[in-house]
Structures are given as C-alpha cells and as structure tokens.
Amino acid sequence: MPLVDMRDLLAHARRHRYAVGAFDLVGLEFLEGILRGAERAAAPLILSVAESHFRHFDPELALAACVVAARRSPLPVAIHLDHGTDLEAVRRGIAHGCNGVMLDASHLPFADNVAHTRAAVELAHACGVPVEGELGYVAGVEGEDAELHPGEIRYTEPDEARRFVEATGVDFLAVSVGTVHGRLRGTPRLDLDRLAAIDRALGIPLVIHGGTGLAPEQYRALAERGVAKINYFTALADAAAATVRERAAEAEAGWLVLHREVREAIATETERACRMFGAAGRAAEALAACRPWREVMHLVLYRPRPGIAEAELAAMADEGRRRLAEVPGVREVFHGRRIAGRDDYPFGWVVRFAAPAVIDTYRHHPVHVAFADGRFRPLAPERLSLDLETW
C-alpha cells in the first residue's frame, strides 16, 4: 500500500538532490499513462490535480481513482492538490484523498498571501497533511494551461521567502526563478544564484511550477539547489494531443481510435521527465525512507435510550452524516444497524479520517461537539468508541 507521507518523500529527494515529478492529470488516460511511465522509470511519484482544471473533470471521481492507483502501485506515491484557491478547496481535497495540498495566494500582496496560506496550514496540519505555499509569481506564456496564470513573472526574494515560511509554517515552497506555465518561447533563463540563496535561507524542499520545456542540465541544476518537486503538465497534454491529431486524419476514426495512443504518449513523456529530474531508479530507496500514509476508522457503537422511535434515530443519523462530513479531515461517514449477533450495541457509526491527527481535531471541532452533545448523546447514553489505524 505505498501511499506515502509527502514530507518524507520530498525530504528524501532533497537530501539526495533529485526532484519528484508532480504530474497534473485531467482524466483516467492521464492517470494510467503517468503511472505506467513512472513505473518504467522506477521513480517516486506525485499524482496531482489542479483546481484550475476542475471544469474539465470531477475531482472527487479523479481522486478516488488516484487513491486506488496509489494503493496498488509498487512506487511510493503521494496525492496532491495543485493550485488550491481557498480553504474550502483544501478541505475538499483532503476529504477526497489528497495527502498534500497547495494553497496558491501568490497573486496577492505579501501580507494577504501570508494570511491565506497560514489559515490553510492550520487546517491541513490539523489533518496531518503537509502544505505547499507559493511566493513570487510563475506566469503563463502560451498553451491551454498558460492562460490560467495571467500577468507578469515576479521572482522570489530569498529574505522575503524566509519570512514567509516562518510566518506561515508551510512544509514546501514553490518559488519563481524563471520558469513559466505552459509552452516556453525561446531558451529559458533560470536565476540559479537566486535559487541557491533561497535554498540556503530556507532549508526546506522547494517546488518548481512550469516544469515543461527546460533542458536536461537545467533540471539537474534545479535539483542540485534544493528543488525536490517539479510540476509538469503541458508536455503531457501536448504529447497526448499530437497522437489525437494524427489519428484524426483517418476519416472514419471514432473515439477509441482517436485516443488509442494517448496513454502510451503520456507514459513515454512521464518516463522521460522522471529520468531528467534524476528520479529514475529511486523508488525502492525512497519507499524505504517514507512513512506509509495511514487512515483511521473511528467507530462508535451505541444503544439508544429505551423508547426512542426508529424515525427519530433515522433523522438524527441523516443529520449526522451531513454535518460531520464537513469537519476537516473527515472522508466518509456511515451510520448503520448491526445485522446479527450480540445486541448490546445495536447501532453504530464508522467515520473515516484522513490520518491519525484527525482524531483530536474531530473530537474538539465545534461542528462535532454541537452534534454529539446536542443531537446524538442525548439519544444514545450507552456508547463504545474506538479508533483503528489502517495497515
């Protein structure tokens, strides 16, 4: 079950001076192609979904597929929310399966960026989930993803970056040192001295956005200066689109024919990227260095107060399912009746938490406290509760 803690994954990459590819997927063909390519390279992997792409697919469905894929992959895999815009996006990302999140407020003035990012760190850390922030601005230049990042590039200042990390508590920082989102025009010029100064000032894994289109020696130069994660999308999308365009020349080509080579094109490009990032062949040692990601099943069995009508219990359970699902770190809420056997506790809840840290967060969260004290416990005086860590 190599879904792993992204902190360990990126600490390993930074220590050994390579970068893990964080590949944005926009559908199942991307997911399968990315996995195939990373497996061929035996590279650790970050499956990434960008909020800016959510108009193209349903993130809840995509993340469910990512979780299945990560669990059955032999590679160490983390699942990341890319370019989250607000706290609700972060909460939903974690609820649907992310174990790393980005809050991107890099377009805002420093103080506002700090305030938004800090709030995301508080929410995510209460769920045991690490956070990436961004300081400086990585603009877009050309291509379908580029238009989502309007405006001019703004470079990250090392001293400001140090103050940002201290004030927010982010685990990883995305920096702007000359890359752009989308297709590059001309030869990219990277400010490597600036990057080295940021690395010295921070000592945490750095992230590069706009990973498409650099030369192999430039990826190596980034990794040598503390870049442990490289976001990569446009090259995958362009490789996929090229195969569709070629097939479209066949007058009779239907959907399946048009898409026949998409997965393989994405796999080839993913493998190439993993090799350029220095991540190829690192999967086994990275896996050994990473804590597995463990969810928690929170079980509450109960006996209702004598004389409570079944309809009253059903109404309480419906309300609980709805309200408790809003608590950060909660992934699913089930309520049910025991089928057979002993009848000491005939009803119960199973609440699936993203990580052990959620046990405390949930217990003290005002939504849970209000529901438990106001609705549930008065109907259920006899209760038995326990938390199971999955392994």
Q: Which residues are catalytic?
A: 82
Question: Which DSSP string do the residues of 340-374 spell out, in sequence order?
Answer: SS--SS-EEEEEEESSTTHHHHHHH-HHHHHHIII
> CB of 331: closest distance to ligand 13P in angstroms?
24
Task: Please identify which residue in 50, 223, 290, 380 interacts with ligand 13P, judged by CB under 6 A.
Answer: 50
In whole angstroms, how close is the CB of 80 to ligand 13P at the nearest point?
10
Minimum CB separation from ligand 13P for residue 153, in Å? 13
CA dihedral 206, 51, 47, 273 (to 10 degrees): -60
Give the burial class of 381: count Cβ atoms within 10 A of its Cβ; 0-12 exposed, 13-18 middle, 19 or more buried: exposed
Question: For ligand 13P, which is the closer residue by CB, 143 or 278?
Answer: 143
Helix crossing, 87-96 with 59-72: angle to 10°?
40
Q: What SS3 class is residue 248?
A: coil
Letters for 4-33 (x = contact with ligand 13P by CB under 6 A, - = none) are --------------------x---------
**DSSP assignment of 219-243:** HHHHHHTTEEEEEE-HHHHHHHHHH
Position among 99, 231, 270, 361 found at the interface with ligand 13P (CB under 6 A): 231
Instruction: Give the DSSP letter string of 13-69.
Output: HHHTT--EEEEE--SHHHHHHHHHHHHHHT--EEEEEEGGGTTTS-HHHHHHHHHHH
Residue choice 118, 181, 282, 335 for contact with ligand 13P (CB under 6 A): 181
Chosen residue from 18, 137, 164, 232 binding ligand 13P by CB under 6 A: 232
If the CB atoms of residues 143 and 304 are measured against ligand 13P, the closer one turns out to be 143
Which of 233, 302, 349, 353: binder of ligand 13P (CB under 6 A)? 233
Of 238 and 332, nearer to ligand 13P (C-beta) is: 238
Rank residues 209 and 298 by Cβ distance to ligand 13P and give the closer one: 209
Give the closest residue to 218 by CA, choosing from 186, 179, 184, 174.
179
Residue 331 makes contact with ligand 13P by CB under 6 A: no
Smallest separation, CB 313 to ligand 13P (Å): 47
385 — phi, psi (to 5°)?
Answer: -130, 150
| Residue 210 found at the interface with ligand 13P (CB under 6 A) | yes
Only one of the segments 34-42, 73-81, 208-216, 277-285 lies at the binding site for ligand 13P (rule: CB under 6 A); that segment is 208-216
Q: Is 234 in the site for ligand 13P (CB under 6 A)?
A: yes
CA 335/CA 321 separation, integer angstroms: 7
Binding mask 102-141 for ligand 13P (x = CB under 6 A): ----------------------------------------
Question: Could you tell me which stretch among 67-75, 210-218, 324-332, 371-379 binds ligand 13P (CB under 6 A)?
Answer: 210-218
State the nearest-atom distance from the C-beta of 193 to ligand 13P, in Å.
Answer: 22
What is d(CA 118, CA 170) in angstroms, rounded to the nearest whole number? 8
**Structure tokens, 123:** 């929410």
First to last CA, the chain: 8
Cα gap 354→6, rounded to integer Å? 14
Q: Which residues bind ligand 13P (CB under 6 A)?
A: 24, 50, 82-83, 145, 181-182, 209-212, 231-234
